Amino acid sequence: MLVAEPNSPGWSATSTRLDGPSNLERRSRPIAPPPYRLALTLLFGLSLILALAAHAGAGPLSERVFFVARVSGFKKIYLSRPDGRDLRRLTPDLGHQTDPTFSQALERVFYVRLYKGRHQICSVNLEGENFRVEVELHAEALFPDVSQDGHRLVFVTDMWGAFELAEMDLVSREITRLTYDQTVNLYPKYSPSGHDILFTSLRTGHSELFLLKRETGGFQQLTDTPFSKGAGEWSPDGRRVVSTERIPPRLWSTLFELDLESGKTRRLLPATQHVALPSYSPDGTQILFLQQETLFTHDPSDTVAVPFPVRGNLQPSEASWSRVPLP
């Protein structure tokens, strides 16, 4: 192609490159990324989306399941997320540790340990640190539970003979006796409002569910059948209670739920062997329970129980499900 000579008519600085774009035009155009870079960007974006989706479906970060498992002959407390992730042992404390319960108000885990031949109630923070002995008696102290406001601790003790309920003010450390019937009273649980305490008692001859009215000191029997009841637990809204019942002739256990307003009970699952220690998820939509050293979750609107994903080849013997502060 003919190119105009410099200083000739029609000559300009750009006229010498008539066969292509000028440098100015090239700089003004957007530069397209190489094909491999675009592919890497798309791949990274897809990986991020999948990771976020898996993270969102892995169970709430603000919830933990506390459970007890035997390791090298000793019972130890573990915690994990509801999907089984982030499994860790709560504390390196020696000896047996049982009956874990978490106080949201105090952000501490209360539990029972065997020390010098007696059970005492202790507590640590969620990191397993800042250890404290809460109840130490010349008697047994078992099955602790903390009120929602973090002011009171209820537990079972034989300091007066038979297993009775006692309550301790966590500020003054004063202990008050709650029951006087000289029978076996076990598994006390504060209601979400803190006004009532749910527990089991043998005062009728076999284990039944009772309420202790804290304001009046009166008792209300919730169940009355010929079949023994196991430990009960409140629903988060305080309207229902879940427990177990042993059904003859094989004395298998069944999971049942009691509506406190109507007084009606309904069986949630068919009777089977060794169903025990049920508790609700923090939102009340699931029930966690134990069957022959296996944890299950159950939706009360369904008829199927799903194994809980316990990792580390651990075999739980008790468990509870709690909401915890985000890290």
Specify the pTM: 0.80
The answer to whether residue 214 sits within a structural domain is yes
* Pair (130, 168) in one structural domain: yes
Give a three-class secondary structure readout of 261-278: CCCCEEECCCCECCEEEE
* Pair (232, 86) in one structural domain: yes
Distance CA(111)–CA(120), nearest Å, equals 8
The answer to whether residue 91 sits within a structural domain is yes
Residue 20's SS3 state is: coil
Helices (H) and strands (E) in the chain, counts: 2, 24
Residue 43 structural domain: 23-53
pLDDT per residue as tens, the chain (327 positions): 443 444 444 434 344 443 444 444 444 455 555 665 555 555 555 554 444 433 434 456 799 999 999 998 999 999 999 999 999 999 988 889 999 999 999 999 999 999 999 999 999 999 999 999 999 999 999 999 999 999 999 999 999 999 999 999 999 999 999 999 889 999 999 999 999 999 999 999 999 999 999 989 899 999 998 899 999 999 999 999 999 999 887 778 899 999 999 999 999 988 787 899 999 999 999 999 999 889 999 998 888 899 998 988 899 999 999 999 876
* Pair (210, 309) in one structural domain: yes
* Pair (74, 113) in one structural domain: yes
* Pair (253, 290) in one structural domain: yes
pLDDT computed for residue 16 by the predictor: 40
The answer to whether residue 34 sits within a structural domain is yes
- Token couple for 179: 């029951």
Residue 41's SS3 state is: helix
* Pair (90, 42) in one structural domain: no
Distance CA(324)–CA(327), nearest Å, equals 9
* Pair (202, 293) in one structural domain: yes
* Pair (162, 308) in one structural domain: yes
Distance CA(170)–CA(174), nearest Å, equals 8
* Pair (43, 175) in one structural domain: no
The answer to whether residue 5 sits within a structural domain is no
Distance CA(216)–CA(235), nearest Å, equals 23
Distance CA(201)–CA(319), nearest Å, equals 21
User: For 40, which DSSP code?
Assistant: H
* Pair (188, 49) in one structural domain: no
The answer to whether residue 60 sits within a structural domain is no
Q: Are 302 and 257 in contact (CB under 8 A)?
A: no
Domain count, the chain: 2
* Pair (178, 31) in one structural domain: no
The answer to whether residue 117 sits within a structural domain is yes
* Pair (244, 141) in one structural domain: yes
Distance CA(165)–CA(69), nearest Å, equals 26
Residue 286's SS3 state is: coil
User: For 230, which DSSP code?
Assistant: -
**Sole residue written with tokens 């022959």:** 292
The answer to whether residue 124 sits within a structural domain is yes
Taking residue 304's Cβ as centre, other Cβ atoms within 10 Å add up to 8
The answer to whether residue 308 sits within a structural domain is yes
Closest CA to 105 of 327, 326, 325: 325
Taking residue 160's Cβ as centre, other Cβ atoms within 10 Å add up to 13
CATH number, domain at 76? 2.120.10.30
Enumerate the H helices of 156-294 as residue ranges: none
